[in-house]
């Protein structure tokens, strides 16, 4: 299982890189059934102009379309970042078999960081979760994206403060 987890997380990382190339927060999700990818998604909130544009939501919709139903109980989801409340809700509602994620999300994570929804007995569905798969790679792509974003913001702010000498001529 470990080899498969690494393989599918590498696919999720490739999808996350696609998000980054589009200026989106680089989170990728892959849904697998029977060793086959049945859905994938990356963060696309800016592109869709929607708060629902999370990688997991996009991947769940794609997988539901592929299998022809909303129950994904034979599917495993691989996500580069620990899912948030909204995405964990969707994963639970889809009755996923298993969740595998890369790095923790201390500000919004709903698997280990802030909440533990996968194991909450008050809910009608629980699922096993494995975290830390390629965690360093998953954290690095996010860190590099936000570092680049902060750098671009500094350059833009500096340009706005100090107009070009040619502008006043």
Interval 8-23 mean pLDDT: 97
What's the full length of the chain, in residues?
Answer: 169
Position 4 scores a pLDDT of: 94
DSSP 76: E
Partners of residue 100 on adjacent β-strands: 78, 130
pLDDT digits (tens, 9 = 90+) for 114-139: 999 999 999 999 999 999 999 999 99
Q: How confident is the model at residue 160 (pLDDT cuts 50, 70, 90)?
A: low
Strand segments (E) across 34-90 = 36-42, 76-81
Position 111 scores a pLDDT of: 98
State how far the Cα of 39 lies from the Cα of 78, in Å rounded to an integer.
10
Interval 141-155 mean pLDDT: 87
56 is catalytic: yes
Say which of 56, 82, 112, 144 is annotated catalytic.
56
Strand segments (E) across 96-152 = 98-103, 129-130
Q: What is the distance, to the nearest Å, from the Cα of residue 6 to the centroid of all Cα atoms in its chain? A: 16
pTM of the model: 0.89
Which range is least confidently modeled, 24-33, 34-43, 99-108, 155-164? Answer: 155-164
């Amino acid at each position: 299982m470990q080899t498969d987890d690494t393989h599918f997380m590498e696919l999720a990382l490739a999808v996350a890189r696609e998000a980054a190339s589009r200026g989106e927060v680089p989170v990728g999700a892959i849904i697998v059934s029977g060793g086959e990818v049945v859905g994938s998604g990356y963060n696309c909130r800016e592109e869709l102009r929607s708060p629902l544009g999370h990688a997991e939501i996009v991947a769940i919709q794609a997988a539901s379309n592929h299998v022809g139903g909303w129950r994904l109980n034979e599917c495993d989801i691989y996500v580069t970042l620990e899912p948030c409340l909204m995405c964990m809700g969707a994963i639970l509602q889809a009755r996923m078999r298993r969740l595998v994620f890369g790095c923790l999300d201390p500000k919004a994570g709903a698997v280990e960081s802030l909440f533990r929804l996968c194991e909450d007995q008050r809910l009608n569905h629980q699922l096993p979760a494995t975290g830390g798969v390629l965690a360093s790679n998953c954290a690095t792509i996010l860190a590099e994206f936000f570092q680049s974003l902060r750098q671009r913001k500094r350059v833009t702010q500096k340009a706005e403060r100090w107009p070009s000498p040619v502008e006043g001529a």
